[in-house]
């Protein structure tokens, strides 16, 4: 058995142990960015077939990640939600994460005739306000549904940043860094200032502490 086959067997077995056809996995993308929204995805995978290359989204090359995201959307029931940079600044990143989770679940329920009964969330969260939620530390490496959610959240956020930010302000290089705090991004902020999409609470060192 190859390492890939072993990984997939482990991911599928983790979810199968719950014996729940409406098991839902949730993950987020963009928590640590200097700019842009935080995205979340909620995914219920079918009994079969399942995508054959599921993995933590961070371990998948960008072109393949987009292809997998399309495959997941074809096979699964899913929803995507986001919290804006302004909401991150207003309520904090933790509560913005929870808001994105809830919006992803609501879109899932709006788009498909389903109500998740067990919800696995990647991370170590408490008091999310989501009933039947179970936190799974490093869940994107353990659970197939969380891994699928991580791919949808990451691919969806990356495309959103490219479409909404890079086309308007190419001098910041959003297509490359997607809002994360790379050296290129920091230098662009120093040179051009903050855009309306930057999280003021994350960029105080570039503004002298001003909001």
**Entry pTM:** 0.93
42 and 79 Cβ atoms separated by less than 8 Å: yes
Give me the residues of the chain with pLDDT under 50, please: 211
Cβ–Cβ contacts within 10 Å for residue 52, how many? 10
Listed in sequence order, the residues at least 6 apart from 181 whose beta carbon sits closer than 8 Å to its beta carbon are: 32, 33, 34, 202
pLDDT value at residue 52: 76
pLDDT value at residue 32: 94
pLDDT value at residue 208: 65
Q: How far apart are the C-alpha atoms of 128 and 39, rounded to whole Å?
A: 16
Question: Pairing state of beta strands 133-136 and 118-122?
Answer: parallel
**Ordered domains of the chain (ranges, CATH):** 3-206 (3.30.420.10)
pLDDT tens string 72-97: 999 999 999 999 999 999 999 999 99
Q: How far apart are the C-alpha atoms of 111 and 113, rounded to whole Å?
A: 7
pLDDT value at residue 200: 95
pLDDT value at residue 207: 72
pLDDT value at residue 27: 97
For the chain, give me the number of helices (H) and strands (E)?
A: 7, 5
pLDDT value at residue 10: 87
């Amino acid at each position: 058995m190859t390492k890939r086959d072993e990984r997939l067997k482990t991911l599928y077995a983790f979810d199968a142990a719950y014996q729940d056809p409406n098991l839902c996995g949730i993950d987020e993308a963009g928590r640590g960015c200097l700019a842009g929204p935080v995205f979340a995805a909620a995914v219920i995978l079918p009994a079969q077939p399942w995508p054959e290359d599921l993995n933590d989204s961070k371990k998948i090359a960008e072109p393949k990640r987009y292809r997998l995201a399309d495959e997941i959307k074809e096979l699964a029931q899913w929803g995507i939600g986001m919290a804006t940079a302004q909401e991150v600044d207003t309520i904090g990143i933790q509560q913005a994460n929870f808001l994105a989770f809830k919006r992803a679940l609501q879109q899932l329920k709006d788009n498909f005739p389903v109500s998740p009964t067990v919800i696995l969330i990647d991370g170590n969260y408490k008091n999310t306000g989501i009933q039947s939620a179970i936190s799974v530390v490093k869940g994107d490496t353990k659970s197939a549904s969380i891994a699928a959610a991580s791919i949808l959240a990451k691919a969806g956020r990356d495309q959103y940043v490219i479409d909404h930010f890079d086309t308007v302000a190419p001098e910041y290089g959003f297509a490359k860094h997607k809002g994360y705090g790379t050296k290129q991004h920091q230098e662009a902020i120093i040179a051009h200032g903050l855009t309306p999409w930057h999280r003021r609470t994350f960029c105080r060192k570039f503004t002298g502490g001003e909001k």
